[in-house]
Structures are given as structure tokens and as C-alpha cells.
Amino acid sequence: MTTTEIGRKAETVAAEFLKQKGCAVLDMNWRTRACEIDVVAQKAKVVYLCEVKYRATDKQGTGVDYITPKKLQQMRFAAEMWVSQHNWQGEYQLCVIEVSGLDFRITNVIKDLS
């Protein structure tokens, strides 16, 4: 599998996890020239703008470890772009979903990073 295929599989696993939790997936791999969001999901009146981080092993850190201040700033910018382009008036939260291992299991979910 290529790194792109691995990333897409991790994003698909994350989207399925969100669906199982009662969310509707609104967008996957939403992109502009300036930013991207892996998964956008909604539950009730809250939109979750999710970054999916995959690591086969945690030898070099977990996926969550890669959410640096710079990455968080990029996530906030992308969220603002999505909210603006979709004229979203409700609540929204940044979210990180960590997918790990060769079996692509969800190992961590962090909501409301803002």
C-alpha cells in the first residue's frame, strides 16, 4: 500500500467510527488551495472538523503527538474556511482521531481542541 492509500484507509476507518457514534459524514478530504480537512462530520447541531493521524507503531510517537502548535493553527484556519464557505452558523469543534497499527484501529479521539 502507498502512503496515500494508507492515509485514505485510516480516514475511511475514522469516518466509519464517526458514523457508528451517530454522526453524519458531510465531507471527506475537503480541500482548498490553502488547506484541507480529513473528515467533516455532524452530530445534532455540532460539526466536527477532524484531522486523522495514522501511525503503524508508536516508536516515533503517537498520532496525537504530531498535533503541534503549527498543525493546530492550520486546523483552525481550515475550520474557519469550511465554516465560511458552508455558511455554517452553528457550533463546531476541532477533533483528532488517531488510527494505529496494521489493523487500523481507533486508539484515541480528542474533541474540542479550540
Question: What is the domain extent for residue 30?
Answer: 3-111
Instruction: Encode pLDDT of 4-40 as tens digits.
Output: 999 999 999 999 999 999 999 999 999 999 999 999 9
What is the number of other CB atoms lying within 10 angstroms of the CB of residue 54? 22
For the chain, what is the domain count? 1
Which CATH number does the domain housing residue 82 bear? Answer: 3.40.1350.10
Inter-CA distances, 54 with 18, 74, 102, Å: 16, 18, 10
Which residues, 6+ apart, have CB-to-CB distance to 24 below 8 Å? Answer: 41, 42, 43
What is the number of other CB atoms lying within 10 angstroms of the CB of residue 51? 26
Its pTM stands at 0.92
Q: What percent of the chain has pLDDT over 90?
A: 82
Instruction: Encode pLDDT of 50-84 as tens digits.
Output: 999 999 888 887 888 889 999 999 999 999 999 99
